Amino acid sequence: MDKWDKRNRPTRLEKRFEFETYQETRDFLDGLGELSESKKIFPDISFGKTYVNITLRPESEEKDAQITDLENKFATRIDGLLD
Amino acid sequence: MDKWDKRNRPTRLEKRFEFETYQETRDFLDGLGELSESKKIFPDISFGKTYVNITLRPESEEKDAQITDLENKFATRIDGLLD
């Protein structure tokens, strides 16, 4: 599975997921919504008919906040939605 | 209710919806998903915990495609999800 892209200014993890159909896109978004709710982590998400882009920012809103285990584990759980 | 912003290059309609809670955001997204599926119109959507941004482009992918009744009616239906 592709890795998440780590980007800076501001620090964040990003990944694009592509799907064959709108139904698959929605199923993924539903799973992601349940995961967000259970973990209380709410990434920024963009999507269209067959793609979803996710941006995960550090939970801390301090200026120099870094990506921690919290975000990395959440990213891994998102990947797990596709298993 | 606020109007949709009509923007150019490329021609599109945009609107931002804000919510009090993640649950309201998800309910709106669910309604929007059902609407998209029934009308076979799939806007680009960005969302976070308490906001949803929607971008509606002309169905025609021609270079000078304009917003038509099709997009305007769909925008009105999206507004209707909040009634």
What pLDDT, on the 0 to 100 scale, is given for residue A62?
A: 83
pTM, two decimals, is 0.93
Between A26, A37, A47, which is nearest B22 by CB? A37
Between B42, B44, B48, which is nearest A42 by CB? B48
Do the Cβ atoms of B36 and A44 come within 8 Å? no
ipTM over 0.90 threshold: yes
Residue of B nearest to A53 (CA): B46
Asked whether residue B30 carries a pLDDT value surpassing 80, the answer given is yes
**pLDDT, tens digit (0-9, with 9 covering 90-100), for B36-78:** 999 999 999 999 999 999 999 998 878 888 999 999 999 999 9
Q: Which residues of B53-78 are buried (b: 16+ CB within 10 A; e: fewer)?
A: bbbbbbeeeeeeeebeeebeebbeeb
**pLDDT, tens digit (0-9, with 9 covering 90-100), for A29-79:** 999 999 999 999 999 999 999 999 999 999 887 888 899 999 999 999 999
What pLDDT, on the 0 to 100 scale, is given for residue B56?
A: 97
User: In Å, how far are A18, B49, B51, B70 from B19, measured between CA atoms?
Assistant: 28, 8, 6, 26
